[in-house]
Amino acid sequence: MGRREDRLAAEKKPLRKKWWFWFLLLLLLGGGGFAASQFISFDSFDFAFWKSSTDDSGTEQTKTSTEDSTTADDITHIIELYQSVNLTDSLDEEKKGSSYDEVVELLGEPSSNVESELGDSKTKMAIWNTFNGKTTISVNFKDDFAIGKSASKLATESETKTTMEQFDAVPLDGSYTYDQAVKEFGQPDSLSTSFIGGVDTLTAFWSTNTEQSITIHFDDTIAVSKEQVSQ
């Protein structure tokens, strides 16, 4: 059985309905930032995501945001930056992802770092707190290279909520993409990504603009499983 078939079979297990299962899984796959963001308060940070800086030529690289709320355009830009962080393949560590310095060059200095050592390996979780604490991006590193990433508090309020009938109609036959999900459900509230055996695995969570909290899992942008999330 291939990896995708194995994953689909595993979806039938009720264990995946447990909140703590997802917490542990996100930590193990390097998406600990999303899990941590649900338990760590970022209110004490005063980090401007759009940091003003110039290179040697004096060209402005980023901009300071004084907005009190996150706009749809802000979210689109944040997700573009999030997608620009490349990950090391967890099954083939010769295929390196972005280095810590490369991610800092992309996102600016993080608002916090959590470092640890396990044997000969050094791990780090860097968290970027943005827009007055409303949106966060976190990246996990092993030996200076990105192995997992996550983003939370991404959604903006919509006047209408998508229905569970729409969610139930989402096909898992290889025809439904992440872009279709965003078009139908809006930007997800949170994302968590890992890179396993040459496959980008993305978990997207929606709550703000849906009748019931939902999660859809994508392999290389194709939906492979879905579930409602107990509140």
Query: What CA–CA distance (Å, rounded) separates 5 from 7?
Result: 5
Q: Per residue of the chain (231 residues), what is the pLDDT tens digit?
A: 455 555 544 444 444 444 334 344 444 444 444 434 333 333 333 333 333 333 333 333 333 344 456 788 888 899 999 999 999 999 998 899 999 999 999 999 999 999 998 888 899 999 998 766 689 999 999 999 999 999 999 988 888 899 999 999 999 999 999 999 999 999 999 999 999 999 999 999 999 999 999 999 999 999 999 999 876
**Residues facing 123 on adjacent strands:** 116, 142
pTM over 0.85: no
What is the pLDDT at residue 13?
A: 42
Could you read off the pLDDT of 57-111 as tens digits, one per residue?
333 333 334 445 678 888 889 999 999 999 999 999 889 999 999 999 999 999 9
Query: What CA–CA distance (Å, rounded) separates 216 from 227?
Result: 7
What is the pLDDT at residue 132?
A: 65
Query: What CA–CA distance (Å, rounded) separates 96 from 93?
Result: 6
Query: What CA–CA distance (Å, rounded) separates 34 from 196?
Result: 18
Query: What CA–CA distance (Å, rounded) separates 41 from 20?
Result: 19
What is the pLDDT at residue 185?
A: 94
Distances (CA, A) of 67 to 54, 133, 213: 21, 11, 28
What is the pLDDT at residue 2?
A: 52
Sign of the CA dihedral with 110 first, then 208, 15, and 169 last: negative
Angle between helices 100-107 and 72-84 (to 10 degrees): 160
Domain positions in the chain are: 3-228
Decide which of 3.40.50.80, 3.30.420.10, 3.30.70.2740, 3.30.1450.10 is the CATH code for 3-228: 3.30.1450.10
What is the pLDDT at residue 143?
A: 94
What is the pLDDT at residue 97?
A: 96
DSSP letter, residue 19: H
> What is the per-residue DSSP string for 133-176?
TTEEEEEEEETTEEEEEEEES-----SS-B-HHHHHT---SS--
The alpha helices in the chain, defined as continuous H runs, are 3-10, 19-28, 32-39, 72-84, 100-107, 164-168, 178-185
